[in-house]
Copies of this chain bind each other. A is one copy, B any other.
């Protein structure tokens, strides 16, 4: 058995970002940039007005002055002439400040009548003008490679005149569920069998992590079927679920071994989730997950989401944790890193409290769905009283 953190490190060290693809700007949200976004123009392109009003020569725009309005400069319709002495040009937010003018008289500080405008508040030089390049200048790196694009980033890339973006493509993750006892939802259930939940739960987790799931047909508990299923082309990582335990019916390793599977490790000191296979089948990394649905989900959070991040071009990192208070006394932990399914509430001081379910059986999917956090109990963690600070992975964030 190897420690959980070592297992994650070994998995992440073996992975590389997938290649780039070109996507339309509108499809770029949430994707990770493979190339930086460099400004293709200067913004604003010239000095522009920050407000609606009049472009004036600040030195003469003192209270009481009367100026002749010689034209207008709405956004998108620059005034071609020049503002001379005693003159003003009507201007609107975003309009280019005409030559000769060096300040904006706000319209609420002006009185307009019969082609003239009277100044009620003096204008300071540069007042209400956004200088050329205030936002960014052509050639500036606005968004670096490796950045996961927010809605704001999409706006910035648009403003910098990028109709296309180079992003890492979504990693394609094959999912092979195995077992004679499982059936897809809505299909006939074999005698003594159950409905398969892992494949579609993991597919949703992969979507949440920015990947593209490829759910393969279920393989029965048979070496040939498993080997045929695992020989899939076109995925960047293959996840198997089921058959990773120690019983006679745990065939994954046997089946893949005949195909040249190179095993790295397969037992992790964690609960739930001890039997986890990690290796490589030809060029394809293989993550063999337990069949227990709770164990599979916990392994998904601890290993698959960080793996997806690395394959998507993001840094290698463990799942983010938050410090919460234990809502019940916690027993001392043994040599397996434990994940207690827990609900969350806030105490009277506004602090987050995570209370573990009394039953932590790793077959209980309904409890898992109700859980809002996994309380992390490291190897040999001492017993803790109710109220102690403990690390937790908050579920529900990002749809997990």
Contact = CB atoms under 8 A, between A and B. Distances in A.
A92 B179 CA distance: 12
Nearest to A359: B134
In this complex, the member of A76, A190, A248 whose beta carbon has the largest number of chain B beta carbons within 10 angstroms is A76
A271 B328 CA distance: 45
Contact of A194 (B94, B292, B300, B371): B94
Given A30-B399, A297-B151, A369-B156, A193 B136 contact: no
Interface residues of A, number: 104
A300 B154 CA distance: 14
Contacts of A193: 75-76
A95 B181 CA distance: 9
Given A151-B400, A363-B134, A247 B195 contact: no
B192 A46 contact: yes
Contacts of A161: 185-186, 189, 195
Contact of A200 (B154, B189, B213): B154
Given A78-B191, A194-B43, A29 B155 contact: no
Contacts of A140: 366
B159 A195 contact: yes
Contacts of A92: 247-249
Contacts of A202: 151
Copies in the complex: 2
In this complex, the member of A134, A249, A369 whose beta carbon has the largest number of chain B beta carbons within 10 angstroms is A369
B197 A156 contact: yes
B135 A366 contact: yes
Interface in A195-230: 195-205, 207-208, 213, 215, 221
18 contacts: A28-B204, A29-B204, A29-B207, A29-B399, A30-B208, A52-B245, A74-B180, A75-B180, A76-B179, A76-B181, A76-B193, A130-B361, A150-B369, A151-B205, A152-B297, A154-B200, A155-B198, A158-B200
Interface of A: 25-26, 28-30, 41, 43-46, 50, 52, 74-78, 92-96, 107, 130, 134-136, 140, 142-143, 148-164, 179-182, 184-187, 189-205, 207-208, 213, 215, 221, 245-249, 291-293, 297, 300, 323, 350, 361, 363-369, 371, 395-400
6 nearest A-B pairs in the assembled complex, by CB-CB distance: A76-B181, A155-B201, A163-B186, A76-B180, A151-B204, A78-B192
